[in-house]
């Protein structure tokens, strides 16, 4: 198992997604500096009140945008791969360190018809929403390893929905979930108030989410 520093946040980072972070706590200053100096990953795990998710996304520090005299910094972090925390270990570091196991999807052929449905719905939404730039997707150019994570970046998912995708180890299961979600929100996008909500939330509509039962 690998050991990585853990950054608990009220967000869910997906693989191949980027996020800007303002680092101001001493423990996380130390974590980011160590990762930057040694080209190490750190883990981002979603925490919501007392609820902590042990499946997170390993991230790399893509760039340090600003660094201030007091050590605070603005960084760009990029999601790399998913992991599950096995246990936390005691170290002399200020931040939490955990032993983790990296997760891989089950082996399966991607359902191209399901992927095509997702791309069709996504592109319809990109045409409707004019206040923010959403680039349309093409099945010929999309990353075929985990296209669901690319689609999910601009699908207006709740944090719980994003965590569900992170937890799910089947690309086709993620695509099936997204297809239902995109199909559901399309009729809602004609209302101006929902367009404003889209912009505010950097996504689309956030309907009620009930975690699908495991088969």
pLDDT tens string 49-70? 889 999 999 999 999 999 999 9
Asked if residue 98 and residue 133 are part of one domain, the reply reads no
The pLDDT assigned to 191 comes to 62
Residue 203's pLDDT is what?
Answer: 39
* 3, 41, 101, 140 from 59: Cα distances, Å: 13, 5, 14, 27
Per-residue pLDDT of 140-195, as tens digits, reads: 888 778 999 999 988 878 899 999 999 999 999 999 999 999 998 887 776 654 55
Question: Is 16 in the same domain as 54?
Answer: yes
Q: Could you give the percent of the chain with pLDDT greater than 90?
A: 66
- Interval 84-118: pLDDT, tens: 999 999 999 999 999 999 999 999 999 999 999 99
Q: Which of 67, 83, 102 is the last residue of a domain?
A: 102
pTM for the full model? 0.86
Please tell me whether residues 82 and 116 are part of one structural domain: no
Residue 209, pLDDT > 80, answer no
Residue 71 has pLDDT above 80, yes or no: yes
CATH number at residue 84: 2.30.130.40
Residue after which a domain boundary falls, among 83, 102, 121: 102
The answer as to whether 205 is a domain residue is no
More confident residue, 84 or 125: 84
33 or 128, higher pLDDT = 33
Domain, as residue range, for 29: 2-102
Of 69, 102, 135, which residue constitutes the final position of a domain? Answer: 102
Question: Does 196 have pLDDT greater than 60?
Answer: no
Lowest mean pLDDT among 9-13, 64-68, 126-130, 171-175: 126-130
Residue 74 has pLDDT above 70, yes or no: yes
Average pLDDT over residues 128-146: 79
Instruction: Write down the pLDDT at residue 173.
Output: 98
Is residue 152 in a domain? yes
129 with 194, same domain: the answer is yes
pLDDT at residue 131, rounded to an integer:
64
Same domain assignment for residues 117 and 94:
no
Instruction: Tell me, yes or no, whether 31 lies in a domain.
Output: yes
Same domain, 117 and 195: yes
């Amino acid at each position: 198992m690998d050991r990585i520093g853990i950054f608990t946040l009220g967000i869910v980072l997906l693989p191949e997604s980027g996020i800007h972070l303002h680092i101001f706590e001493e423990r996380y200053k130390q974590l980011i500096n160590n990762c930057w100096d040694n080209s190490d990953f750190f883990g981002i795990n979603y925490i919501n009140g007392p609820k902590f998710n042990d499946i997170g996304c390993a991230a790399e520090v893509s760039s340090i945008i600003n660094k201030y005299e007091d050590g605070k910094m603005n960084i760009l972090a990029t999601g790399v791969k998913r992991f599950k925390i096995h246990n936390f270990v005691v170290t002399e570091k200020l931040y939490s360190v955990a032993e983790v196991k990296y997760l891989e999807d089950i082996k399966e052929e991607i359902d191209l018809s399901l992927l095509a449905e997702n791309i069709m719905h996504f592109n319809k939404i990109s045409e409707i929403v004019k206040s923010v730039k959403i680039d349309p997707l093409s099945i010929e150019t999309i990353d075929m390893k985990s296209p669901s994570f690319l689609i999910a970046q601009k699908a207006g998912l709740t944090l719980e929905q994003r965590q569900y995708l992170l937890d799910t180890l089947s690309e086709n299961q993620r695509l099936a979930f997204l297809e239902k979600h995109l199909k559901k929100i399309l009729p809602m996008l004609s209302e101006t108030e929902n367009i404003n909500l889209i912009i505010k939330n950097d996504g689309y509509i956030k309907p009620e989410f009930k975690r699908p039962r495991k088969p």
